[in-house]
Structure 1
Amino acid sequence: MDDFRNRTAKSMLTLPLVAVVAGVVWLLPDPRSVWLWGGFAIVCALTYTLRELNNRSQLLRIRSRLVSATFLALFAALPDLHSAGMHLLPAVGLLLALCCLFGSYQQYRPEHYTFHAFFFLSIGSLDFPPLLVLSVLFYLAMGIVLHTFTWRSLLAGLFGLIVPYCFYVGYLGWEDRLDDFVQQLTPYLQYRWPDFRRLPLPHVISFGFITVLALLSTLHFVRTSLNDKIRTRVFLYVLIILELVLAGSCVLLPHHYCILMPLYLVVASPLIAHYFALARGGLLMNVWFICWLLGLIALSIYNYGLPAIFGAA
């Protein structure tokens, strides 16, 4: 048992095994559902993109597929997110934006990376306009951490944000539906403090489980960050900033759970994988890892079983 965690982190079979289990769990409610199949396909594409992000950005200093396996395993435990829909578009946009943003690191002329990073972020914001707030964090990361902020990259980012909206507003104008754009923005301009007493308990428990795990992973990285290369530290600090903002957004906008949780998993999964793959502790850490796996299984059973039972009752 004392080698179980290391074998899991380093094995090339971890991701395929998680994918098979996730697929079975995912399609269990209705194997004939096109929406479930579509949602699983989209999340598998996100999982592969995370794998590529990990490989290119060297988020882990060992050869491992634990980043993408962690993302898929956590996603599989949250059945309310599984159907295909526009709620997954912001997560797709954010992940592609991060790939481009990280690609700009140490580039002499990073403008094209910057344009595409903000372009994909803007695409995601078409379904969830508050996602544009992250553009401010992108600029801060470029100036403070990535050191790629110049007047050229500033303009490239602004251009990337504007282009999708030019096409979108132009299309709505052509269809004589500009009122739809105003109606889409209105709910976000009239914020009301949420009634936390009416939140679905499965959503609260799921958010709490992932947040505790993400917090432990963040603290571990901050404490041991000197063990990583500068490049890795830069990227993970960017993810930590985004993680904190998205965690706060989940608290302030809990009624957008199905949109915010995929975003949260995109930025939290690399940190969680970093924690379990690289934390020291021998037998004790392996027991801790197994406890979290059992907790994830319990969360999955709860999310799939008890709500259905109570609903039937």
Structure 2
Amino acid sequence: MQNKVAESSSTLPTACVLTTILWFLPQATYSLEYLKGWVICGITTYIIIETSAKQALLRVRSRIISSLFLLLMAVSVFLHPFSTSSICQLCLIISISYVLRTYEHPKPEVHTLHTYLFIALGSLFWAPMLLLSPVILWNQGIFLRSLSWKGLGAALIGLLTPYFLWATVLAGLSIFSFFSEPCSEAALFSSAAFAPLLRHATAVIAPFYEPFDWQWNMESHRIETAAFGFTLLLNLTGFIHYLRKSYDDKIRVRMCHYTFLTLQVILLAWLVVQPAHFMDLYPLWLLCVVPAAGHFIALSRTWLSNAWFIILSILLITLGLLPSFT
């Protein structure tokens, strides 16, 4: 059953329809915030499709990875309104799509620059996202084997470019204010003009101030907790499956999956240690869970895996209906 679902050409259209229904039907009224969230989700799904196809993450023709992402987003109703986490999720998948292209590329510096440029762009919306750059850098050096001194320079340029442009805008506003309003010369060169940038830089390392931030009330976040539990099951299923069956894939595909798995582990650990950042971390973690989980659904062919797929499907349907009973 699971292989038929994974290889069916109707799986992705069905997932799109179900996601749209679950996205808008409970609202009963038009909401621009939900529409913007739906559009961003659609763009993210398209990039997942392109990345999966270009890197051949599955050995069979299947859209199960993108379909699984859509269904997880559909049942995670707390992610439906547009928020900064939607932008961060989009930036992360774009960044991953670029870093995977660096594998065995004769000149990977351009892709490297784009990889870290989008990490930096995402960090403009949620500053601690910048902390993922060392993880991606490690993946690029260990698994993708595309890191060099030129690559490090390209990564640094990519990370600094958005902040350089931001600082330039702030400096321009400061100069404009200096000439348009009477003020002292010292005010032009004071740190007050760059206060937003300085506050943002401080926010990047904010998670280190409270390394164990467990201020999370499960009773008041039942849907979030249920979504986390289901995604954790998918995480463990995909992770264990891929470690057991990775030898069947080509080396290139294996390195791509290992990149996702590494991010998956880091984001899960971060989420467990600091659940107060759930709304920012969960979408990023969800994104990294679906490739290995999709690999399990598409390529495992035992009666046990089929039974587990049916159980997961029942749990997913239950999770989708849960908001109606809360």
Normalising by structure 2, report the TM-score.
0.88
**What is the count of residue pairs matched by the alignment?**
302
Distance 2:132 2:149 in 1: 19
Deviations 1:76-113 (A, max 9, x none): 11111111122211111110011110111111111001
Cα distance, 1:275 vs structure 2: 0.8
2:248 matches 1:210: no
- Of 15, 18, 25, 1:28 maps to 25
Deviations 1:182-213 (A, max 9, x none): 33444543326324562423222221220121
2:257 matches 1:241: no
Distance 1:196 1:130 in 2: 18
Percent identity (aligned):
30
2:320 matches 1:300: yes
Q: Structure 2: where are the runs of 5+ without partners? A: 175-192
Which residue is 1:107 aligned to?
Answer: 105
2:156 is paired with a residue whose SS is: helix
2:238 matches 1:222: no
Which residue is 1:198 aligned to?
Answer: 217
Which residue is 2:85 aligned to?
Answer: 87
Which residue is 1:258 aligned to?
Answer: 279
- Of 50, 68, 71, 2:69 maps to 71
Deviations 1:42-86 (A, max 9, x none): 101111110000000010010000010000000111111111122
What letter is aligned with 2:217? R
Distance 2:48 2:282 in 1: 16
Distance 1:63 1:218 in 2: 21
Distance 2:254 2:45 in 1: 22
Q: Structure 1: where are the runs of 5+ without partners? A: 308-313
Distance 2:148 2:199 in 1: 35
1:126 is paired with a residue whose SS is: helix
Which residue is 2:182 aligned to?
Answer: none
Distance 1:185 1:112 in 2: 26
Distance 1:254 1:181 in 2: 26
RMSD (Å) for aligned C-alpha atoms:
1.7
2:229 matches 1:232: no
- Of 15, 31, 43, 2:12 maps to 15
Normalising by structure 1, report the TM-score.
0.91
Distance 1:137 1:70 in 2: 25
| Native 8 Å contact 2:214 2:273 kept in 1 | no
